[in-house]
Amino acid sequence: MMAGMRVTIRAPRPDDVVPYAEAVRRSAEHIGRWNPVEPDGLPDLLSRQGVGLRTFLILDRESGGLVGKCNVANIVMARFRNGVLGYDSYVPFDGTGRMSEGMRLVVERCFLSAEQGGLGLHRLEINVQPDNERSVAMARRLGFRHEGFTPRMLFLQDAWRDHERFALTAEEWPTPVR
């Protein structure tokens, strides 16, 4: 677990299944524009945790409420040491800055070495549908640079969707805010 001023991040647990489902259902309208809405998906996500996928829940320190979720997927180590971030924010915390704070903690955790409790990654990517202005703004707030455009990258909502690609390396990451 890592803590910021208003949020903590940690791995999901089996006792998160019900609050996760409730948060996803509450947030279905804004999640559904960009990603599949899967309120009952946490057990499957828990079963897939491992070398190639790590999930972090972002929790409000005061209430314990679920602010959001970030998957670090497609993790490749060896000489690449790369992961791809995908995230959702949940009502009523969206738009409060807590998701940004939590994402900073996730990025920090990704870049920390395994000895420091991190994932030991060197490079992170965020792929965002061009019309998802809030997610593009998140990538930019975190300091990710725009690398390019990938047409028909992911099959979402019965169609291949274009994505803008953003990336950040450990050398570009600022001194973490604690």
Per residue, the 3-state secondary structure of 19-57, as one string, reads HHHHHHHHCHHHHCCCCCCCCCCHHHHHHCCECCEEEEE
Residue 4, pLDDT above cutoff 70: yes
> What is the tally of helices (H) and strands (E) in the chain?
5, 8
Q: Token pair for residue 104?
A: 């900073």
**Cα maximum dimension of the chain:** 42
Question: What's the CA gap between 151 and 169, in Å, rounded?
Answer: 23
Q: What mean pLDDT is predicted for residues 7-13?
A: 98
Question: What's the CA gap between 87 and 124, in Å, rounded?
Answer: 13
Average pLDDT score, the chain: 95
Domains of the chain as residue ranges with CATH: 2-172 (3.40.630.30)
Tell me what pLDDT residue 178 has: 36
Residue 64, pLDDT above cutoff 60: yes
